[in-house]
Structure 1
Amino acid sequence: MHGLFRWSSKWWPGAIPLVILWAFAAWTGTAPLESDLAQRSAAALQDTVLDKTKIAVAGRDVTFSADAFSEDGRRSAVASVDAVPGVRLVNDNTRLVPEAKPFVWSAERDVVRVTLGGSTPLPASKARLLDTARGTLNGVEVVDHMGLSRGAPARFDAAALLLIDQIGKLKEGKITLSDTQVSLSGMARDLGGREAVAAALKNLPEGFSVAANEIRAPPYIFQAYKDPVAVTLTLTGYVPDNAVHAALAAAAERKFFSEKVVDNLKASVGAPSGFASAVIPALGALSRLSTGTLVVSDREVKLSGDALYEAAAGQIRAGLAKDVPKGWQATPEMSVKPAAAPVDATVCQQLFSDLLARGKIRFESGRAAIDPDSAGLLDRLIETALRCPTANIEIAGHTDTDGDEGFNQALSEKRAQAVAEYLVRAGLPAERFKAVGYGSVQPVASNDTDEGKAQNRRIEFLVR
């Protein structure tokens, strides 16, 4: 017995290297096998749509976990791994991606970034939406808060891609797709942006519809500035179309008798109803100011500046309130220009002559009714008359030779009287003015041409 123990104690230390060699051989034989099975299992899933795929191999047993987007897809993926040659057992840890009810996706824009949120149906859909947003938005930061969910409506990708294009037209706002219902809110980036979004939404895929469109347009602004130093009228902002543009430019030319019109207007959709009907009389009000600014923003007409005399300020305020269309607001903010220094009769005559050389008092054809476009010139004439308070002034009316001589004589008298009455309504003493009609007997140009006749139809101010 003792000898047997001694023999055993001699052989077991020699067995240790054999055990180590056996373990090493087993390990070196198993590791390549597991790596090979892992690679071939992954290859078997190459054409399968999954998320968060993980494969772990122990011997010939495969533990497979992934998120699948349908039950058929999940089963097919497990079967593909199970069919890999050499796999003995598949430990199935797969699950279905959660279902979203309702299926909501959104795109939200602030000043510096666009955030995509909510659910997308597949990884490829998510990547496509991100790539499109980054390409469409020209360098704007795109933040991805999208998750993956089941339950997307048919043609989801087409609808979401169209909506990403619309978020690019917004300055700020949010577009939400809930199942097949689209809701929009925010401010369009440019005039016409609201209309462009509405037009694009007509191309939503079949089955999709707009639940709410609360996109607002930026203010539709028209501005006119009268500068007495540069003697200019500068027009900026927007007009609805070329026809309105031409009408406003022509009105400005008629109403501003001496200012050069600088036209920087641009055509754009989005003008409020009644735009031209509001702007044209407002330009007439501006023409009566010494210096002033007209701002038309949506349906508000704001006029600021200096009237030439006190009565004019009251007339302009009342006229502006009366002339704006229904639903519009008039905001006159005027002061009265300080009175200019008095001048003698000679200077007064020169001032009248200079004004009437630059502009003409107009009347309705064949009548003595003064054209409202002459209001700016008449206010300048009144301002001049106020500077020579002791001078008596003859207001002389003249016509061309067309028509009956007696009619022309009467018409010239009535027109001269109409101008005198206009000055009296402004607060000037009636006894300072004498209205005289000369008919066609004192022409200043030939009556053989239309241009000459136009020069002969005139009102003159003569200081007596």
Structure 2
Amino acid sequence: MNRMIILIVGLLALWALFEFGGLAQAPVIQADIQSRTEAAIGAAGLDDVVVSADGLDVNLSGTVADDAEVGQATDVAAAVRGVRSVNSLVTVKAYFTQFCKDDSRILLTGNVSDEDARTAFPERAQDMFRYWKVEQDLTINENSPNGFRRFMDQALIELGQLDAGCITLNNRALSVSGSVRSERALTGIKERFDALSDLGFTVSYDLKLPELSDQAAACQAEANRHVEPGETVLFDFDSDEIHAAGQQLLDAVVEISKLCPDVHVLVTGHTDSIGDKDYNIALGERRAEAVVNYMVSKGVDAGRLTPVGLGFSQPIADNSTDAGRSQNRRIEFRAREE
């Protein structure tokens, strides 16, 4: 009997030793698990992943560049000796770039792919928007989406079509918001982004058109119906001479304007970026005046037409190429209230 009691007491003592000894060692084991997992995560270059251990279980949080690194973080932690399970709340870091325009500023913020892009975007913006102050707060993030540079080059061009607003890239989703001067300008923005659909970005629009009277809106719609998107009066370099093709287009605009006798039309003359600001404003105004004079000669009341020179402030194409500069030397029409 005494032997049985001694055996039971001995077994209880051994159980207590293992149980309470294990409890005493638990914080040490947990700290060891966390330390070795942190070292493994760091060695894998996942510097923004945060590790916390709960006993033998590991929790991961923080951000990484892409989905592949999300899986990599889990695999690295699971491979650490002694880890029982891994709970991952790691997310992909957003790739965010935004170009904004208001009455006086162009603001470029967010991520760019490399130092060349960080230098090139502000330089191009200053060349395109010489009337505006260009400010930038761009940081280099090499994990840019495929096609980033080509797509955002186009975004900078389309910023010129907005009276005010922002073009924002969040990973592979682009949003265009603000105000745009005409339905034709809105259509042009969509068509040019659609032409880059092979790059795999999605584009959404939240753009407001100017409010027009019923007659002005109808007149603008009629003009849009008769004039093909992208079709306009173009000019040779440093010239305000209207070519025969431009005269044919103006003849159609004249007939449309006669259907809307109470609507006034803003005729804007645009240039490429070669030359200084003041010269190009004057050249744009001469082009607008040449168009107004032609329309008046065809019977349109001069009081309904207002010529304005905008120079190179609203490009629709890349001024670094001959083809782009040719498209920017143009006339646009906008129905407006008195």
TM-score (norm 2): 0.51
> In structure 2, what is the equivalent of residue 216 of structure 1?
91
Q: Does 1:126 align with 2:27?
A: yes
Within a 5 Å distance, the mapping from 1:293-372 to structure 2 comes to 293-323=166-196, 325-338=198-211, 358=277
Structure 2: gaps of 5 or more residues: 1-5, 213-262, 293-301, 310-322
Give the aligned residue type for 1:358: K
1:162 aligns with 2:63: no
Asked whether the 8 Å contact 1:219–1:298 carries over to 2, the reply is yes
Structure 1 counterpart of 2:105, one-letter code: T
CA distance in 1, matches of 2:86, 2:210: 55
**Quick check: 1:225–1:234 contact (8 Å CA) kept in 2?**
yes
Does the C-alpha gap of structure 1 residues 223 and 124 become closer, same or farther in structure 2, counting only changes over 3 Å? same
Determine the C-alpha separation between the residues in 1 that align with 2:276 and 2:46.
56
Q: Aligned partner of 1:311: which letter?
A: R
CA distance in 2 between counterparts of 1:417 and 1:254 reads: 16
Please show how residues 389-408 of structure 1 align to structure 2 within 5 Å. 389-390=304-305
1:209-247 deviation digits (Å, cap 9, x = unpaired) = x9998832132111121111xx10111111232122122
Q: Structure 1: 5+ residue runs without aligned partners? A: 1-62, 66-89, 100-119, 133-155, 362-376, 395-413, 429-464
Matched with 1:93 is: 12
Q: CA deviation at 1:284?
A: 0.8
Q: d(CA) in 2 for partners of 1:92 and 1:333?
A: 76
For residues 61-115 of structure 1, what are the alpha-carbon distances to aligned partners after superposition, in whole Å with 9 as ceiling and x for unaligned?
xx999xxxxxxxxxxxxxxxxxxxxxxxx74423459x9xxxxxxxxxxxxxxxx
User: 1:264-303 alignment to 2 at 5 Å?
Assistant: 264-303=137-176
Shift of 1:270: 3.1
* Amino acid corresponding to residue 91 of structure 2 in structure 1: R
For 1:126 and 1:246, how far apart are their aligned partners in 2?
Answer: 51
Aligned partner of 1:239 among 103, 112, 116? 112
Counterpart-to-counterpart distance in 1, 2:326 and 2:12: 103
Tell me the CA shift for residue 419 of structure 1: 6.4
Specify the structure having the higher radius of gyration (Cα): 1
Q: Are residue 226 (structure 1) and residue 145 (structure 2) matched?
A: no
Q: Spell out, residue by residue over 1:232-290, the C-alpha distance to the aligned partner (whole angstroms, 9 max, x if none).
A: 01111112321221222233223323211111111224322221121110111112111
CA distance, structure 2, for counterparts of residue 337 and residue 319 of structure 1: 22
Residue 301 of structure 1 aligns to a residue in which SS?
Answer: strand
Higher relative contact order, chain-length normalized (CA < 8 Å, sep 6+) = 2
Conserved 8 A contact 1:163-1:175: no
Say if 2:115 and 2:140, in contact at 8 Å, map to a contact too.
Answer: yes
- The TM-score normalised by the length of structure 1 is 0.39
Contact 1:191–1:268 under 8 Å retained in 2:
no
Instruction: Give % identity.
Output: 17
Q: How many angstroms apart in 2 are the aligned matches of 1:127 and 1:178?
A: 11
- Structure 1 residues 299 and 202, CA gap change in structure 2 (3 angstroms): same
Q: CA separation of 1:178/1:311 partners in 2, compared to 1, >3 Å: closer, same or farther?
A: same
SS in 2 for 1:273: coil
In 1, distance between residues paired with 2:198 and 2:325? 33
Is 2:30–2:54's contact at 8 Å kept on the other side of the alignment?
no
Pairing 1:251–2:124 present: yes
Change in Cα spacing, 1:279 to 1:299, as seen in structure 2 (3 Å) is same
Structure 1 outlier segments of 4+, above 4 Å = 163-168, 173-179, 184-187, 190-208, 210-214, 341-345, 385-389, 391-394, 414-420
Indicate if the aligned counterparts of 1:278 and 1:324 stay in contact, CA closer than 8 A: no
- CA RMSD between the two structures: 5.7
State whether residues 282 and 301 of structure 1, in contact with CA within 8 Å, keep that contact through their aligned partners in structure 2: no
SS of equivalent residue, structure 1 residue 93: helix
Q: Which residue of 1 aligns with 2:239?
A: none
> What are the equivalent positions in structure 2 for 1:63-102 lying under 5 Å apart?
91-95=10-14
Q: Match of 1:400?
A: none
1:263 counterpart = 2:136: yes
Preserved CA contact (<8 Å) 1:307 1:313: yes
Given residue 151 of structure 2, which amino acid in structure 1 is its aligned partner? A
Q: 1:177 to 1:249 in 2, by over 3 A?
A: farther
Q: Distance in 2 between matches of 1:391 and 1:240?
A: 44
Cα separation, 2, equivalents of 1:393 and 1:317? 26
Amino acid at match of 1:159: R
- Equivalent residue letter for 1:162: A
Q: Look up the equivalent residue of 1:262 and give its one-letter code.
A: E
Give the Å deviation of 1:174: 8.2
Paired amino acid for 2:95: Y
- SS of the residue corresponding to residue 199 of structure 2 reads coil
Deviation at 1:201, TM superposition (A): 7.5
Alpha-carbon deviations, 1:125-157, whole Å to 9, x = none?
A: 623645x8xxxxxxxxxxxxxxxxxxxxxxx57
